[in-house]
Structure 1
C-alpha cells in the first residue's frame, strides 16, 4: 500500500541522484471497497489542474496578527515574541513562542547559557524565516499555496514583510482570498529582484501546538570574536484533553521562568579555560511520557513489515483466519512489528487480534486522502474513533498520522500538525510516540520541519532506493542508510525510522535501479545488512489488483519470498 513518493534530493547532501515516482495507495483506489459493493473499479485517471492568472481578489481581513521577528535572524539574545492586536482596544498582548534564540558573544571564553522553558496553552502561528539561493533576476518566493476544486473562499495566515523607514519586519496577516475557479493558487507571495546570485531570506508562517518547550542549558566555548550560537527548543509533552502543565521550576542555579514568559537572563561569562559541564540533574526537567529514544529499533536485521488485509489478486478483504495465518508466518520469520495504514477491512480486530496472540507490536496509521485534513473529515473521524475505542495500547509501538499527505497536497504542514494534536486528544489513553510518514525531501523543507517536529516524537520517512536512478540493487542499503542519517538531523534529538522500504520484482529499469526477483533478493539483503533494524519493509503481499503504473512495478512489491515465507507471489 503506497502513496506517491518523491525520493529525497540527496544530490546536494549525499552525492546521489534525485528521483521521483508515483505509487497509488490501496485506500485511494478502493474507497468504494469499504462499502462492500459488488463491482470493483480501478480507474487509470489523470487530474489536470487549471491555473487561473490575473489579479487576485482580496477581501479585507480582521485585525492582523503580527510578529516582531525580523526577516533574517539577528544576533540579539532577546526571545522573539508574537504580538496579537486586541479587537476592541489598542492593548498589545505579548505571547512568547519557542523559536530558536540567537545568542552572541563578542569575545572568546566559556559561557553558560541558562535553560529557558516556554508553555503554550493554545496553538500559535508566528513568522518564521526560511531562505533559498537564487541567480540574478526577479524571483517570487513565499506565500501559501492551495489547490481548490471549485470556486471558493480561502481564509489563512500568510507571511509578508512590512517596511517602515529603514526597519523591515515580517508580518503574519490573517487574510481571505477569493479563488474564482478550480486551480492552484499562491496567496501573498513576495517578489524581489537581485542583481547577482545571492540567498533570499523570506518569512513563512510557523505554527506551534500547545505544549511545553525547553531550550536546555548550554555551555559554549568560544574561540573567535562576535560568535553567534542558536538555542533550539524541544517539545517536552503536549496536552491531550488538558492544557499543557506548568513546568516544574529548575534548581536555584538556573532562575525559573514565569509560566508564559521566557527567561531574560543574560549569558553568564566564566573565565577561560573551561567550566565543567552541568550535571544531568541540573538541567531543566523535560517530562516526556514513554520516550521513544532507542525504542523503535529491532533486535535483528528485519524490524518490521507493512501489511494490508487485502487478497493479493482481487483486493477483497481477507477473512480473520487468513489474516491470522499471515501474522503467524510473519512471527515465525522473525518480524517484531507490523505497520498498518488504516482501519478498513477490520484491521484493528483481525490484524490487532492476531498480533496480540503471536506477540507482535503494531504501528497504527490514520490514513489521510484528498477529501480533507481534519478530524471533521468523515473518513478520518471514523478511523480515529475506531482506534480510540479499540484502545489496545499495550501492543501499539507508534501512531502514524498521514502517509505522504503533505507531498500529495492533501494537507499543509500546519494542518497536519493540528490533526496530530487532535488525534492525541482523542486517543488520550495512548502515551507512546507519534509521527508522520513523508519522503526525506519533504521533511527537509523548513516550513514542514518547523511545523511538524514540535508535535511528533519520531521522524518517520518512506525511503525507496528503487526510485533513485543512481542506485542499483546492490547499493540499496547504502542509499537507505544515507537517507536515515540525513533524517536523523531534521528533528534535533528525535530518532528517525524508515517506515516503508522495498524493491519490486517486475517492471522497467529506473536508471541503474532494475527490478527482478534476484534484484529484490539482493536489495533486501543489502538493506538488512546496513539498517534492517530501523526499517519497515514494504510489503508482505504483491498487489496484483493495482494498475502496473508508469514503470510497470506497482503490483510486485511483495517481499515474503525474500524472507523465506512461502505461498506468496
Structure 2
C-alpha cells in the first residue's frame, strides 16, 4: 500500500497515537425527559465501575441523567448488557446509539448479541462499528474489511439499514484507505493531546486530520469518533493535562466542528478508573472524563 506524503510527514510526531478508548475486555434513578437542547455532538460512554465490574441499569440511568446536550452516545461492545441498558437510558433523552462490536474475531456472536438486544429499536441505532483501532494496534487490514462486510449483511437481514463502519486512528485510515472503502463513512479517532499541541489548538488540529482522512478516502464523509483531552496526568510537550486545558480543548473542538457538530464524538463522559496506563499514555489514561 502506497503511503501518502502527508502520512509520512505526520509519522514522527504520531508514533504515540494510542487506543486511549480501549474498551474493557472479556469480561431506580428517574430518567430525564428528552433533551431538546442538543449541541449535535456525540459523547463516548463506558459502562464499567472503577474495579472493572459492570454498572447496573440504575447506575447507567444515573450517568445519563448528567449527559445533557448530546445527540448521540458511543459505546464499544456488547458485554455487561450495555446495549440494553444504554438503550433504556438514552431513548427517553432522544439520544441515538453508536453501537460497537469490539472483537472482530468474534463479530458473528457479538452481532447476534447486538441484534437480540436491539430487538425492534433499530431506529435508535445511528451506526454500528466493527472493531476499534484494530489496524493501529497491529492487526491485519483484510480480516477487518471482511468482518465489516459480513456484519453488514447480517445486520441488513435483521432490519438495520444504517451505517456500518470500522473505527481506527486517522493515521491508520490515511495509510489504509481500504478501511474507509469498506465502511459507509470514514470513522477516525484523533486526539490532539498525543500530537503535543496546545489545548487551544485541539480543534484546528483535529479538523485538519479529518480533512486529511476524507482526502485519502476519496472525499468520503468523515466522522471523528473520539477526541478529548485529559484533566490529569503528565505533559506531552506543549500538551498539558489540567481541568482548564480540558475545557479549552473541548471549546476548541466544538468551535471547529460548529458547522458539522455530528462529525464529532467527544471522549469521554466519565473518568475510566478501570483502565491502566503504559509508558505511552502519560499517566492520563483514566482521566479524560468530561462530566466527572
Please tell me whether the aligned partners of residues 440 and 483 of structure 1 are also in contact (alpha carbons under 8 angstroms): yes
Q: Shift in Å at residue 11 of structure 1?
A: 7.3
Please tell me whether the aligned partners of residues 546 and 554 of structure 1 are also in contact (alpha carbons under 8 angstroms): yes
Tell which structure's C-alpha radius of gyration is larger: 1
Aligned counterpart in structure 1 of residue 46 of structure 2, from 296, 304, 308 = 308
Change over 3 Å in CA distance of 1:301–1:472 after alignment to 2: farther
Q: Shift in Å at residue 300 of structure 1?
A: 6.0
Aligned counterpart in structure 2 of residue 499 of structure 1, from 203, 211, 225 = 225
Matches within 5 A, 1:459-470: 459-469=186-196
Deviation track 1:267-320 (CA, whole Å, cap 9, x = no partner) reads xxxxxxxxxxxxxxxxxxxxxxxxxxxxxxxx9655100001112x22221111
Note the aligned Cα RMSD (angstroms).
2.3
Give the corresponding residue for 1:541. 270
Aligned counterpart in structure 1 of residue 137 of structure 2, from 408, 431, 437 = 408
Q: Shift in Å at residue 382 of structure 1?
A: 2.8
- Whole-angstrom distance in 1 between the partners of 2:174 and 2:220: 14
- Whole-angstrom distance in 2 between the partners of 1:23 and 1:413: 17
Change over 3 Å in CA distance of 1:305–1:409 after alignment to 2: same
- Whole-angstrom distance in 2 between the partners of 1:403 and 1:536: 14
The answer to whether 1:419 aligns with 2:152 is no
SS at match of 2:255: helix
Aligned counterpart in structure 2 of residue 554 of structure 1, from 282, 285, 291 = 285
Question: What is the number of equivalent residue pairs in this alignment?
Answer: 269
Q: Shift in Å at residue 23 of structure 1?
A: 4.4
SS at match of 1:521: helix
Give the corresponding residue for 1:366. 101
Q: Shift in Å at residue 405 of structure 1?
A: 0.6
User: Which structure has greater helix proportion?
Assistant: 2
Please tell me whether the aligned partners of residues 364 and 396 of structure 1 are also in contact (alpha carbons under 8 angstroms): yes
- Whole-angstrom distance in 2 between the partners of 1:486 and 1:300: 28
Matches within 5 A, 1:94-109: none
Segments of 4+ in structure 1 off by > 6 A? none
Change over 3 Å in CA distance of 1:385–1:317 after alignment to 2: same
Higher relative contact order (CA 8 A, sep 6+): 2
Give the corresponding residue for 2:30. none
Give the corresponding residue for 1:444. 174
The answer to whether 1:432 aligns with 2:159 is no
Aligned counterpart in structure 2 of residue 334 of structure 1, from 63, 66, 69 = 69
Change over 3 Å in CA distance of 1:16–1:498 after alignment to 2: farther
- Whole-angstrom distance in 2 between the partners of 1:542 and 1:512: 23
TM-score normalised over the length of structure 2: 0.85
Q: Shift in Å at residue 357 of structure 1?
A: 2.2
Q: Shift in Å at residue 545 of structure 1?
A: 2.5
Please tell me whether the aligned partners of residues 315 and 543 of structure 1 are also in contact (alpha carbons under 8 angstroms): no
The answer to whether 1:455 aligns with 2:190 is no
SS at match of 1:499: strand
Give the corresponding residue for 1:212. none
Give the corresponding residue for 2:203. 477
- Whole-angstrom distance in 2 between the partners of 1:527 and 1:16: 24
TM-score normalised over the length of structure 1: 0.45
Aligned counterpart in structure 2 of residue 393 of structure 1, from 111, 122, 125 = 122
User: Which structure has greater strand proportion?
Assistant: 1
Deviation track 1:63-108 (CA, whole Å, cap 9, x = no partner) reads xxxxxxxxxxxxxxxxxxxxxxxxxxxxxxxxxxxxxxxxxxxxxx
